[in-house]
Amino acid sequence: MKNLPPLKGLETLLPEAALAFLAEQFPQQVCFSTSLGLEDQLVTHFIFQNKLPITIFTLQTGRLFKETEELLHQTQNYYGQKIEIFEPQADTVAQLEREKGRFSFYDSIENRKECCQIRKVEPLQRALSGFRVWVTGIRAQHSENRQNLPIWEWDEKFNLYKFHPLLHWTYEEVFDTIKKQQIPYNPLHEQGFVSIGCEPCTRAVKAGEDFRAGRWWWESSQQKECGLHTKS
């Protein structure tokens, strides 16, 4: 475990102030990864609205919802600022689909993780290159394995610091702020999609279901992660 730099008081700052503080402490070395979900739209707003020198990027997996792709375009126009786009290696995707088909992820957890590795993890590795701090939209409510996360941590897998400004926010707090600030958001959230990933791997959540029930719903595992926020 790497010793974290002494950023005393970071946890007590409001998200906007914390982001500004990190941008000052790590000039041109802070990035934010957005999947254009509610949490990410709010963090994007904090960064763009305050013109913070934080690079924002997204992963274009090639299997996103049409609504997500439209929101990316809308968000950039709304703020007049650019979100960098990282795509998977075309030849690797082509090889996977040639050997196993376009829907191999339904066949096994191993296949699903392979697809996530190709479409998400590898592009993320390239996107994070050269940065020292990675800001995320993770909230503790997302899943059981995120409930005990610290707001500021060292990521051994990607070898950089990680900050979760909305970690202790509730879904309702995020959505209420989104609406109050009139921030663009994905219309699928109004149709029962609380967590939106790739189109073939995401469905709406039914009343009473867990927050992550709509992601990889055919899997029985409770540890539903794509590899972006896991230790291995």
Residue type, position 178, single letter: I
**DSSP class of residue 52?**
-
- Return the closest-CA partner of residue 218 out of 112, 106, 102, 142: 106
Tokens of 26: 């790590």
227: left (phi over 0), alpha (psi -120 to 50) or beta: left
Residue numbers annotated as active site? 226
DSSP helix, strand, coil percent of the chain (3-state; round to 5) = 45, 10, 45
Strand partners, 161: 133, 154
| Phi, psi angle pair for 64, to nearest 5° | -75, 160
31 CB-contact burial (10 Å; exposed 0-12 / middle 13-18 / buried 19+): buried
Tokens of 226: 């794509």
- Please state, as a whole number, how many other Cβ atoms lie within 10 Å of the Cβ of residue 190: 8
Distance CA 80, CA 151 (A): 29
